[in-house]
Amino acid sequence: MKMEEKRSMGKAPSAKGASSTEATLPQARLERLRKKYASKRVETAGRRRGLGGPGGPPGRGVTGGGKPQNVKKTLRRLWAYLSADALKLAAVFVCVVAGTAAMLAASYLLRPLINHLTDGSGVAVLLRGILTMAGVYAVGIAAQYLQQRIMIGIAQKALMQLRNDLFRKIQKLPVRFYDTNSHGDIMSRFTNDVDAVGEMMNNTVVQMISGLISLVGTFALMVYTNIWLTLVTVAMVPVTMLAGQMVAGSSRRFYKAQQEALGTLNGFIEETVTGQKVIKVFCHEAVAEEEFGFLNHELRDKQIKAQFFGGLMGPVMGNIGQISYSLTVIVGGILCVARGFDLGGLTVFTGYSRQFSRPINELSMQVNTVFSALAGAERVFDVMDQEPEPEDPPSACRLRDLEGTQRHRPGEVTLNHVTFGYAPETVILKDVSLYAKPGQKIAFVGSTGAGKTTIANLITRFYDIDEGTITVNGVDIRSLRRKELRRSVAMVLQDTHLFTGTVLENIRYGRLEATDQEVEQAARTAGAHSFILRLEHGYDTMIEGDGANLSQGQRQLLNIARAAISKAPILILDEATSSVDTRTEKNIERGMDRLMATRTTLVIAHRLSTVRNANAIIVLENGEVIERGDHEELLARKGRYYNLHTGLAQLE
């Protein structure tokens, strides 16, 4: 690479002009970025059909893409949320009718007033007409105020229900969904997309109802006032509709692309913020800025197109309306001269001519909101239409129902000829058979991608096996209720996660009914009690930002304490001590030995020092069990474990 190109890659893209990114980045780099995000869209589309990456759970991709769903279907689904308040909607409808009728009637009252001015009527007659118009307008204003107040309440309730349904849905989605979708994009659906729907519900729905009633009422009064002028106005309607349809078609497509680009950008921001330490340690700031600039530029391009076509609707409709108005005035003037049409009638009709196109113009001015909301609603419903985690069949049993039977063996785990792949064309585990007896500590070692973490995912039924059987407590896990199965398993993952709340609440998350004394005992078992007491408020110390005020090792100790307080007979430790120092690890091991005395423990480890005292060590390679035995037995065999232990082979 030339020196000039290297320097240009280190610069952050400027926000000036459409060509700033292209001017900053080399063409080769631009092409790579375009291919990268184009492939993400294709890859995600494939994963939606059940595909995935080799060697482990499918990586996260940016969701979105494809053509918009049926607009009518989306509107029907949104209407279902609004129609839950049928009585209030009826009240809004009454207010809209009253307000629209009042405005139309007040406009028509202008006809006799103008005619009275021309025929020399007295001041008293004019004053009565003005007061009557004022009263009618007051009724219309009051009706509009009420409809707005009621509709806002209906819209906010509908949005609350929409958010509840979306959140409830994501709680039921399988782990595969989170493995294959960007967390930032999921958050974008909760925020940007739902907000866009709210903007439409708060304003546009009422305008649509009001516009329809106004359209019908105005047309009726136009026919009553003068049929010939009505024909002139109506003749322009097909032109208006054709122009609106052409602009709206482009708007809908570009607004969908805008929402997808926004989700992609949010996903990149979330990924970058959570990975700041990695970015800084590898001096990757300039490249991150470069990639953000590219995505920001892509979003800007899509927003320009969406806003342009959305904003084009108003001027197009306005100009067509102006042409219609001009024709009406010309023909009306001719009718006044040649056919004796009254001046008041012409004045009122020209007002109705403008008012006839007003509902269409208002909707055209709201096209930004409408199509942004429809695009957002489609993305929200796309999540809600995802296949949830399968429901337990009626025949699924509970572990407690098996107590006292010969099949009830707490903590026993058996894999019998298990074959599994995250994608049909890629097999991760190949005919794996193994067992763990109650109270045993079983360790899994092997190269990265050998299938160690996959076994944990299968035991908890985050994924279902393709072939073979897995039994827990002597029962096939597919015949157990998922919640019952997962209550039997406590997990400590390599990636720690703490929730906003106190230290006490985070530990108690493992068993909500646990007492304060049990929480403290779990913390002692995990070796966390001493550092908790050194915190400012001890167990009442607030944790925020996933434990940003704690060290990585302290966060892991709290996760271990959370598992310790659980009464689950099976404990899975996925690199649980990878984030603590050797001394802390020894303290944890002593506590865990007491904890594991009555539990079956499955340890997934890369650090071989953590598995020396395991009852059995299982060596996995390429999805197959190649060795099993304790530490001394495997060393004596001088096989794969011996090579790993002595450093002759590296964990890839």
Query: For position 182, which CATH number holds?
Result: 1.20.1560.10
Question: Cα–Cα distance between 219 and 212 in angstroms, integer?
Answer: 11
Its sign, for the CA torsion 389, 391, 396, 398, is: positive
Domain check: are 507 and 466 in the same one? Answer: no
Query: For position 579, which CATH number holds?
Result: 3.40.50.300
Is residue 362 in a domain? yes
Residues 320/242, Cβ–Cβ less than 8 Å = no
- What confidence score (pLDDT) does residue 433 get? 93
The 3-state secondary structure of 238-268 reads HHHHHHHHHHHHHHHHHHHHHHHHHHHHHHH
- Residue 619 DSSP one-character state: E
Is residue 166 in a domain? yes
Residue 432 CB contacts under 8 Å (≥ 6 apart), including other chains: 415, 417, 418, 419, 451, 455, 468, 620, 623, 624, 625
Residues 218/104, Cβ–Cβ less than 8 Å = yes
Last residue in a domain, options 515, 543, 567: 567
- What confidence score (pLDDT) does residue 281 get? 65
Strand partners, 446: 620
Give the pLDDT confidence of 102-126 residue by residue, as tens digits.
Answer: 988 888 888 888 877 776 666 787 8
Burial 544-565 (b: 16+ CB within 10 A, else e): eeebeebeebbbbbbbbbbbbb
- What confidence score (pLDDT) does residue 401 get? 58
Domain check: are 470 and 422 in the same one? Answer: yes
Q: What domain range is 282 assigned to? A: 79-383
Instruction: Indicate the residue type of 427.
Output: V
- What confidence score (pLDDT) does residue 406 get? 42
Weakly modelled stretches of the chain, pLDDT under 50: 1-21, 42-56, 58-68, 405-407, 648-652
Domain check: are 456 and 336 in the same one? Answer: no
Q: What is the pTM of this model?
A: 0.67
Question: Cα–Cα distance between 573 and 492 in angstroms, integer?
Answer: 5
Domain check: are 370 and 450 in the same one? Answer: no
CA 234, 235, 238: angle at the middle one, nearest 5?
95
Residues 611/442, Cβ–Cβ less than 8 Å = no
Question: Cα–Cα distance between 543 and 329 in angstroms, integer?
Answer: 71
- What confidence score (pLDDT) does residue 3 get? 41
- What confidence score (pLDDT) does residue 414 get? 92
- What confidence score (pLDDT) does residue 216 get? 85
Domain check: are 581 and 558 in the same one? Answer: no
Last residue in a domain, options 522, 541, 567: 567
Domain check: are 422 and 312 in the same one? Answer: no
The Cα-based distances of 136 to 108, 218, 289, 498, 505 in angstroms read: 11, 16, 60, 61, 61
Of 83, 214, 85, 198, the residue nearest 143 (C-alpha): 214
Domain check: are 522 and 579 in the same one? Answer: no
Domain check: are 173 and 118 in the same one? Answer: yes
Residues 422/57, Cβ–Cβ less than 8 Å = yes
Show the tokens assigned to 286.
């300039």
Residues 503/543, Cβ–Cβ less than 8 Å = yes
Strand, coil or helix: 342:
coil
Domain check: are 284 and 329 in the same one? Answer: yes
Residue 104 CB contacts under 8 Å (≥ 6 apart), including other chains: 214, 217, 218, 221, 355
Strand, coil or helix: 577:
coil
Last residue in a domain, options 540, 567, 594: 567
Residues 554/500, Cβ–Cβ less than 8 Å = no
Residues 159/196, Cβ–Cβ less than 8 Å = no
Is residue 70 in a domain? no
Q: With 0-12 CB in 10 A as exposed, 13-18 as middle and 19+ as buried, what is 285?
A: middle
- What confidence score (pLDDT) does residue 418 get? 94
Show the tokens assigned to 89.
């909607």
Is residue 26 in a domain? no
Is residue 45 in a domain? no
Instruction: Please count the structural domains in the chain.
Output: 3
The 3-state secondary structure of 518-566 reads HHHHHHHHHCCHHHHHHCCCHHHCEECCCCCCCCHHHHHHHHHHHHHHC
Residues 599/571, Cβ–Cβ less than 8 Å = yes
Show the tokens assigned to 144.
């509009």
Show the tokens assigned to 522.
């779990």
Is residue 451 in a domain? yes
Is residue 307 in a domain? yes
Domain check: are 159 and 190 in the same one? Answer: yes
Give the pLDDT confidence of 339-389 residue by residue, as tens digits.
Answer: 778 888 888 888 888 777 777 666 666 666 777 788 889 989 989 988 888
Q: Name the H helices within 343-451.
A: 343-365, 367-384
Domain check: are 447 and 502 in the same one? Answer: no
Query: How many CB atoms within 10 Å of residue 368?
Result: 20
Domain check: are 214 and 174 in the same one? Answer: yes
Residue with tokens 């459409």, as numbered in its chain: 18
Query: How many alpha carbons fall within 13 Å on the CB side of residue 382?
Result: 27
Is residue 208 in a domain? yes
